[in-house]
Amino acid sequence: MVWRIRSKARWIVPSMASLRPPSISKDSFHCPPLSGFTSSLVGLPKRSLACSDPKNQLIYSAEAGENHSGLLPSVERNLTLRLEASGASSAQDCTNIKAENVYDGNSRVDLFGEMKMRFLSFKKHKYLEEREHFRTLAEAQAPKLSCVLNLQVQEQFMVIACADSRVCPSNILGFQPGEAFIIRNVANLVPPLENGPSETNAALEFAVNTLQVENILVIGHSRCGGIETLMSMQDDDNSSFIHSWIIKAKTAKLRAKAAVPHLNFEQQCRHCERESINNSLMNLLTYPWIEERAKKDMLSIHGGYYDFLNCTFEKWDLDAKNSNVTEKGARYLVKDTMYWY
């Protein structure tokens, strides 16, 4: 007898103790690794495969472990499972089931099945344990980052970061729900006011004028594909949306090439990544409602650089009072540089 099930697996809730089918040893499975994932993640949830319900349907059971890390396994669970069993009955022998990848157009189902388990894990380990906090967040957002030493200090916070999937600011800096208003775009750019409306300056207007944030942190990172594109593209190449966006950091490119002409292309890109952050900090001052608050010490402007190869973070502040965005060539000064490593 052969069972074939495609994207019709049912989820067993752990509390359904009444279902006690014989389990399948995971030693009888061989699942080739998926590109981009690892089987050595810490805190992965426990899993079991169960077979045979009253209708002789094969059931996939996923049980969440106690140690929550926000990650769920992808290696040992295929995108789509073809389960084959040999024997007289499922109750007598569930050990000969073989699993293999089947790409039949239904892989999206299991992809969102993985996402479902991540959501349910978040609900169990985060939402339900901090229900009062999330109820408070439901009333209105007021992104405050708390500093608990001897004093309770809370400051409104906004982050502008890159859209690169490797450098999520909440993951790197531990922002929790409600702590930071975050906007992400290609190469973490802040366009100047003169460039007109964009998603980024719309978010800035809301964060500064409505939420009244007290800190803006622009975070760049190593190996930024946007900056590498900026450094390699020709100025007359204006045929794409990418060019139209990245060219907003042209000033940073010119400064980097002028400052380190003797370095190779990769090293120039690393220099430009930092230069682009400072260019964005200065562009923030082109917005009158930001400049006014910054010069009155009502708003602090910070730069940050994350080197994900070495896992180091560099943070500095823009000296808004002594930086001049109106002069030709704009002059910026930074202060209070810190290195975290």
HEC profile for 185-206?
EHHHCCCCHHHCCCHHHHHHHH
Confidence of residue 247 (pLDDT cuts 50, 70, 90): very high
The rounded distance, in Å, linking the Cα atoms of 231 and 331 is 22
Identify the weakest region by mean pLDDT among 25-39, 179-193, 251-265.
25-39
**Residue 265 pLDDT:** 95
Beta-sheet pairing, 312-318 with 334-340: antiparallel
Residue with tokens 């007290």: 214
Q: How many Cβ atoms sit within 10 Å of the Cβ of residue 46?
A: 12
**288 pLDDT tier (thresholds 50, 70, 90):** very high
> What pLDDT does 258 receive?
94
Only one residue has tokens 């622009």, namely 218
Percent share of the chain, pLDDT over 90: 45
Residue 294 and residue 288: Cα distance in Å, rounded?
Answer: 10
Distance (Å) of CA 10 to CA 5, 50, 57: 11, 11, 10
Q: What is the pLDDT of residue 7?
A: 43
Residue 199 has pLDDT above 60, yes or no: yes
> What distance in Å separates the CA atoms of residue 266 and residue 270, rounded to the nearest whole number?
6
Q: What is the mean pLDDT of residues 179-206?
A: 94
Residue 164 annotated as binding? yes
pLDDT at 142: 67
Q: Residue 302 in contact with residue 333, Cβ under 8 Å?
A: no
Q: What is the mean pLDDT of residues 176-192?
A: 93
269 carries a ligand binding annotation: no
User: Can you tell me whether residue 307 is helix, strand or coil?
Assistant: strand
Q: What local confidence, expressed as pLDDT, does residue 251 receive?
A: 92
Percent of the chain, pLDDT > 70? 62
Mean pLDDT, range 147-165, rounded to an integer = 73
The structural domains of the chain, with segments of one domain joined by +, span 151-340
Q: Residue 72 carries which side chain, given as an amino acid letter?
A: L
Tokens of 46: 């426990």
pLDDT digits (tens, 9 = 90+) for 71-119: 444 433 433 333 333 333 333 443 343 434 444 455 555 788 888 998 9
Confidence of residue 177 (pLDDT cuts 50, 70, 90): confident
**Which of the pair, 327 or 54, is modelled with greater confidence?**
327
Whether 53 has a pLDDT exceeding 70, the answer reads: no
Q: How far is CA 237 from the centre of its chain?
A: 30
Residue type, 100: E
Report the C-alpha gap between 8 and 4 in whole angstroms: 10
Write down the mean pLDDT value for the chain: 73
pLDDT of residue 5: 42
Give pTM, 2 decimals: 0.63
d(CA 30, CA 79): 14
Give the pLDDT confidence of 295-309 residue by residue, as tens digits: 999 999 999 999 999
Q: Which of 63, 210, 48, 234 minimizes the C-alpha distance to 142? A: 210
Is 311 a known ligand-binding residue?
no
Q: How many CB atoms within 10 Å of residue 277?
A: 29
pLDDT for residue 145:
60
* Three-state SS at 209: helix
Q: What CATH superfamily classification does 151-340 receive?
A: Carbonic anhydrase (3.40.1050.10)
Helix, strand or coil, per DSSP, at residue 111? helix
**Do the Cβ atoms of 216 and 160 come closer than 8 Å?**
yes
pLDDT of residue 332: 82
118-145 per-position pLDDT tens digit: 899 989 988 898 888 788 878 777 666 6
What whole-number distance in Å separates Cα of residue 54 and Cα of residue 4? 17
